[in-house]
Structure 1
Amino acid sequence: MPDLVADAALAQDIGCRARQEDAAIAHFGCGAASGIAVLSDGMGGHDDGDLAGRIIAGEMFADLFLSDTRRDLLHHDARAVFGSALGNANRKLQHHIHQGHLSENTGGTLVSLIVSGDHARWLSVGDSPLWLLRDGTLTRLNENHSMAPQLDLMLAAGEIDAQSARSHAGRSALTSAVTGGSIARIDCPDTPLALRAGDLLLLASDGIETLDGDSLRNLLHKWRHKPASDIAGTLLAAVAGTRRADQDNTSVVVIRMRAPRAPTAGFAQRLCAAMGRCPRRFERALALPGTEGAGR
């Protein structure tokens, strides 16, 4: 039995945009200890951003899924495995641009995550966030490849005020993206993240940032024991509840790590009923916890 089980869910909302430019894919089997999640936010305001996001996410996911990635990522070659998948996705985007299928002014962000047992690895490009909620603390795990960190440094140095930092027109401008050309910055740590029961991982597009950090943390903490699907739906409802007139697309992948549940006597009763077998005989055969002495 695995030490941890991943409960995962994906949800999207178009917001106030004319089209959905986010693309997200997640694959975690029921009761599985491992899985893959990939999210790309097509560059808003650029031609074919929706198609670019789908190509980036789809190619990255397919390459990771079809390789023996979940084994490899526990070893030192994780960066090579992720890098190969990113290179293939970038070349596929470049191919479509050169063939005239997509505009030259297109591209997108990328955040990709592999969970393997009690460890996780990621690669990201752009500003789509990857968060970890642990013991009530919400931490951004991946780098933010936009102008926002630079503006925050200027704020800390007293060069600009808080209002200017928040409302600066270039705050969301990307300093790195997947565009079919060279990629300026890639975040792919050498060391895997050790996971624990109770950890909550969240991949998202920047539409989620309509919620400030405290609101996001409080919501995740309040719902941390609920199924991942409930958490994902609650996040989108909270964003919609702000009624922001220019709300961007919002996509979330929620992954809740928990300890596996041991089978119970009730499980044996239900299984036996389905099989037409005697529950007491079946419990003795399985020696399930809490059933010792049954049928004696």
Structure 2
Amino acid sequence: MLDRQLQSTDTLQLDVATAAAKGDRDYQHDTVISGFAMGQSSGFVVIAGGRGENDSGGIASAITAAEFFCQIRMNDSALDVGLAKPGTILRAAAAAANRRLADERERSDELTGMGSTVLAPVIRHNRLSWLSVGNAPMFLFRHGSLRQLNKDHSMATQIDLMVKGGSMLPEVGRDHPERDVLTSLLNGGEIAAIDCPQAPLALWPDDIIILGTDGLKRLDGSAILAILAEAPDAGSDVIARALLDALNNDDQGNVALAVIRLTLPRTDPAPIEADDLPVLASAEPDPPEPDPERQAYWYRGQKYYKD
């Protein structure tokens, strides 16, 4: 599944594509929803990675994505006039999604243990705000460098610190079986950690934002940079397709991702002035020819004719 949308803001144009794949699984537990609409000065994406047995993971991610979509959409007007901040709306959305998950788990024993990660970036007036819970990564590509913007709520963070401190060998940390164990999750209980910075991030032309569920983490930074280097001027849909192709292997699980590219809007050429074009013909009458029989003479600065 691949979807692409174009939207213009006050100064930048947003080229957005979303995609999802089941990989080698028989189910899809990951959900992506785009809230970028033509003609508006705001937009958002919701990425949710479900956890749970059978279909419960897919149900959890769908509930989470739907709650975030509704909460942000219902507060569009308040955000437009400055009566609400993106961070406030996003935190309210996380609480609403968590309550819904708790309600659904109580209704059915089959949904016990289900939960979902979530990553929701919001772009308004060339500023990026976000909320994330779990291990879904969001990267910023700018001036040839790739950076992860959001925090990772998994044991991978602690394991990497142990490797950095010398208490664990790099090869052990890289393949550690507990790397993907989550330290924060939406599951109807207390949310252990939320990453939602108070200040937004200023965006610039040629910025590329790449985000996805934890399946995207199978590509390291160098692999993503290589994809971007192969087609530096490619649209978001081309980049999204290349990411899916790179992830397409025998042991690839579910993945949902989004690519947001920011560019300067195309400017229309200056209009052509008609006066600048050559005159091919004119409808004005020619000036009268002087009468050869009339003789002119000058007297004290005035021109007279002899009859």
User: Same-fold call, TM > 0.5?
Assistant: yes
Query: AA paired with 2:146?
Result: L
> In the alignment, what sits opposite 2:266?
261
More helix by share: 1
SS in 2 for 1:113: strand
In structure 2, distance between residues paired with 1:70 and 1:230? 35
Task: List gaps (5 residues or longer) in structure 1.
Answer: 265-288
Contact 1:129 1:142 in 2 (8 A): yes
What SS class does the counterpart of residue 42 from structure 1 fall into? strand
Q: Quick one: structure 1 residues 33 and 252, their matched pair in 2 at CA, closer, same or farther if it must change by over 3 Å? A: same
User: In the alignment, which residue of structure 1 is the partner of 2:272?
Assistant: 291
Change in Cα spacing, 1:20 to 1:47, as seen in structure 2 (3 Å) is: closer
Q: Output aligned runs, 1:110-129, within 5 Å.
A: 110-129=118-137
Q: Identify the range of structure 1 (205-214 vs 147-156) with the bigger mean alpha-carbon deviation.
A: 205-214
1:139 corresponds to which letter in structure 2?
A: R
- For 2:95 and 2:86, the matched residues in 1 are separated by 14
Match of 2:293 in 1: none
- In the other structure, the counterpart of 1:168 is 176
Residue number among 195, 201, 206 corresponding to 1:198 in the alignment: 206
Structure 1 residue 124: Cα displacement: 0.3
Q: Which amino acid aligns with 2:162?
A: M
Q: Distance in 2 between matches of 1:261 and 1:70?
A: 30
Identity over aligned pairs, percent: 35
User: Which of residues 53, 58, 72 in structure 2 aligns to 1:64?
Assistant: 72
Which segment drifts farther, 39-48 or 178-187?
Answer: 39-48
Aligned partner of 1:233: which letter? R
8 Å contact from structure 2 (residues 135, 214) kept in 1? yes
Task: Give me the whole-angstrom Cα distance separating, in 2, the residues matched to 1:162 and 1:46.
Answer: 34
Alignment of 1:227-242 (within 5 A): 227-240=235-248
8 Å Cα contact 2:27-2:55 kept in structure 1: no
Alpha-carbon distance, 1:70 to partner: 7.7
Deviation of 1:66 after TM superposition, in Å, equals 1.7
Letter in 1 for 2:255: T
Q: Distance in 2 between matches of 1:186 and 1:228?
A: 28
1:13-54 Cα deviation digits (max 9, x unpaired): 111111011000012234654211000000265761111011
Q: Distance in 2 between matches of 1:86 and 1:53?
A: 12
| Contact 1:70-1:114 within 8 A present in 2 as well | no
Asked if residue 158 in structure 1 is aligned to residue 158 in structure 2, the reply is no
| 1:92 corresponds to | 100
Q: Which of 241, 246, 250 lines up with 2:255 in the alignment?
A: 250
Query: What is the CA–CA distance in structure 1 between the aligned matches of 2:80 and 2:143, rounded to whole Å?
Result: 29
Secondary structure, counterpart of 1:108 in structure 2: strand
- Displacement after TM superposition at 1:262 (Å): 1.7
* TM-aligned CA distance change 1:292 to 1:231, over 3 Å: farther
1:54 lines up with 2:62 in the alignment: yes
Distance in structure 1 (CA, Å) of the matches to 2:246 and 2:38: 27
What RMSD, in angstroms, separates the aligned Cα atoms of the two structures? 2.2
Cα distance in structure 2, aligned partners of 1:291 and 1:162: 65
Given residue 263 of structure 1, which amino acid in structure 2 is its aligned partner? D
Q: Aligned to 2:115, which of 93, 107, 123?
A: 107
Q: Which residue of 2 aligns with 1:222?
A: 230
Is the CA contact (8 Å cut-off) linking 1:131 and 1:140 kept in structure 2? yes
Is the 1:133–1:199 contact (alpha carbons within 8 Å) kept by the matching residues of 2?
Answer: yes
| 1:192-217 C-alpha deviation (Å, 9 max, x unpaired) | 00000100011101112222210112
How big is each residue's C-alpha offset from its partner over 1:220-278, in whole Å with a ceiling of 9 and x where there is no partner?
243342111111111101111xx2x32111211111011111234xxxxxxxxxxxxxx
Aligned CA distance change for structure 1 residues 73 and 85 (closer, same or farther; 3 Å): farther
Tell me whether 1:137 sits opposite 2:145 in the alignment.
yes
**What SS does the aligned partner of 1:256 have?**
strand
> What one-letter code is carried by the residue in structure 2 that aligns with 1:118?
N
Are the aligned partners of 2:50 and 2:117 in contact in 1 as well (CA < 8 Å)?
yes
Instruction: Give the counterpart letter for 2:33 in structure 1.
Output: I
Preserved CA contact (<8 Å) 1:224 1:231: no
Per-residue Cα deviation, 1:86-135 (whole angstroms, up to 9, x for no partner)? 11111111111111175220101000011112101000000001110011
